[in-house]
Structure 1
Amino acid sequence: MSGRRTGGLATSGLAASGLDWLVERPIAHRGLHDAAAGLVENSAAAVAAALEAGYGIEVDLQRSRDGDAMVHHDDRLGRLVEGSEPLADLTSAALQARRFHAGGEPMMTLAGLLDRVDGRVPLLLEIKSRFDGDLRLARRVAALVSARPARVAVMSFDPAVVAALAAAMPAVPHGLVGQSRRRAAAGHDPAPSRLALAAATLRAAPRFLAWNVDDLRTWPPRLARALGRPVLTWTVRSEAVRRRALAGADQVIFEGFRA
């Protein structure tokens, strides 16, 4: 992996944004996971593999019952980890006692993840939300990241979460995750109207976007780039898609191959 930055904003624009470090290398989606090799998404092993390869790392965060930030994509156990309960029904200690079906590792906390990465590569944290105004997870993330912000960026689909993160730790880059309204509706994700999305985006004032690779021609990423704000794109799953994506984005969030 070369770690080169290809495509995207001019170097001067990136330097002005202060986020050249965020797009300096491809970012491994949920860590450098590989089910065939026993490397499970959002696991310590997948993080270690990304570190060894020199990639940036993206992970998902969910809230435990006692308000801790857990490294896990789904809001329920079962698909990857022992159990079937919602994460929000179990304490951090109880969740760490559960094991991944493959590999037998425990679930990580955000504090443990920050210790493992320790600023060696860019770390991108996606804060999951039910779009219900609950900001407890955002507050926990802010408390942990504020103490060690080096090369960490935070993002969410929920503009209210993005705005809360920006207010709590203005020095840490905050971004908005998104895709087209049509695609969001098809995937049962929140699908606000164009006017509502524009208003929410302005309110959140994201410093970067992370946008669906099939929606890079829509107005939010095009506007962000016109304003000199970096655009990441997900989820890129082949070299051919990577090459195409870098015509409209500054870096890829990838899985399933070596970018």
Structure 2
Amino acid sequence: MTKVSELLARPIAHRGLHDADNGCIENTPSAIRAAVERNFAIEVDVQETADGEALVYHDYTLDRLVQSKGPVIEKTSAELVKLPMQTGTDNLWLLQDLFDLVAGKVPLVIEIKSRLVPGAQADFVRRVVEQVEAYDGPACIKTFDPDMLPIARAHRPEVLRGIVADATLPEGELLRFSRMDRFILRHMLHIPRTRPHFISYGIRDLPSLAPGFWRRFFGLPIMTWTVRTENQRLRAAKYADQIVFEGFDPDA
């Protein structure tokens, strides 16, 4: 069973150690290998495919990074793994492929991307936590969607789970939420129901009352994202327990 302390031991590379200018795309095998070689923990994203598998990919559509277009959810895993990235030599790949590559060498943080649909993609969440539980290495899940966490907890309570949050500004997908909904998300007032093992909070919004409260009085460590500058790293050192970093070398 993964311990929270394992997630705090080494800085976490955001979507691997990627460098798009040199053909190393985020969330690809090349980016993951680069992070493993430096002994960094790794955060990746997973999207649901048409057949319920977990694709290691951040966006809801293929357009930005892949030599294809359209929503991920409309293609099967067999179709998706044949698709090459727009640069570099990698194809899309699945969560199990990631596990096979990393093989327990460094901790993995699996962010489940939510489509914010009724039922919270319950079958998909259960599929992911089953794979995480079966993996022979340190790994956990996290998500912005608080409705996913009770599903994960009921199905595989021993799998570490975290809630992702920030200031929850009324923009993008969050426009669909009411002001009260955004207040609940920002302050994580669902925690008595969702019972995460850690908080993943945006560095731009630290310090903040809510994560500080849950950290101080309930012992929930804070994993802050995405740290890109020295000033952000100094702020993270004061208000968080771990960083998810990008664009610099935290060991330098």
Secondary structure of the corresponding residue to residue 174 of structure 2: coil
What is the TM-score when the length of structure 2 is the normalising length? 0.90
Distance in 2 between the 1:28 and 1:177 partners? 16
Identity percentage of aligned residues: 39
Q: Please point out which of 65, 85, 93 is paired with 2:78.
A: 93
Corresponding residue for residue 215 of structure 2:
225
How much does 1:37 deviate?
2.1
Q: Retained in 2: the 8 A contact 1:224–1:231?
A: no
Corresponding residue for residue 256 of structure 1:
247
Q: Please point out which of 227, 233, 237 is paired with 1:246.
A: 237
Q: Please point out which of 93, 103, 108 is paired with 2:93.
A: 108
Q: Please point out which of 191, 194, 197 is paired with 2:183.
A: 194
Distance in 2 between the 1:141 and 1:198 partners? 23
Deviates more, 1:213-222 or 1:226-235: 213-222
Distance in 2 between the 1:230 and 1:220 partners? 12
Deviates more, 1:45-54 or 1:235-244: 235-244
Q: Please point out which of 83, 107, 132 is paired with 2:68.
A: 83
One-letter amino acid of the structure 2 residue matched with residue 42 of structure 1? N
Q: Note the residue ranges of structure 2 that are not aligned, 5 or more in a row.
A: none
How much does 1:100 deviate?
0.4
Q: Retained in 2: the 8 A contact 1:208–1:224?
A: no
Distance in 2 between the 1:239 and 1:181 partners? 24
Corresponding residue for residue 193 of structure 2:
203
Distance in 2 between the 1:155 and 1:70 partners? 15
Structure 1's 195 and 28: CA in aligned 2 closer, same or farther, altered over 3 A? closer
> Structure 2 matches for 1:122-141, cutoff 5 A?
122-132=107-117, 133=119, 134-141=121-128
Poorly superposed stretches of 4+, deviation over 6 Å: none
Corresponding residue for residue 150 of structure 2:
163
Distance in 2 between the 1:216 and 1:202 partners? 22
Over the aligned positions, Cα root-mean-square deviation in angstroms equals 1.7
Structure 1's 225 and 49: CA in aligned 2 closer, same or farther, altered over 3 A? same
Give the number of the structure with larger relative contact order, counting CA–CA contacts within 8 Å between residues 6 or more apart. 1
Is 1:29 aligned to residue 20 of structure 2? no
Aligned length: 241
What is the TM-score when the length of structure 1 is the normalising length? 0.88
Distance in 2 between the 1:207 and 1:70 partners? 24
Distance in 2 between the 1:233 and 1:212 partners? 5
One-letter amino acid of the structure 2 residue matched with residue 215 of structure 1? D
Is 1:55 aligned to residue 40 of structure 2? yes
One-letter amino acid of the structure 1 residue matched with residue 47 of structure 2? Q
How much does 1:147 deviate?
1.0
Q: Note the residue ranges of structure 1 that are not aligned, 5 or more in a row.
A: 1-16
Q: Alpha-carbon deviations, 1:121-153, whole Å to 9, x = none?
A: 110000001221222321210221121253101
> Structure 2 matches for 1:177-192, cutoff 5 A?
177-182=164-169, 185-189=170-174, 192=181
Secondary structure of the corresponding residue to residue 66 of structure 1: coil
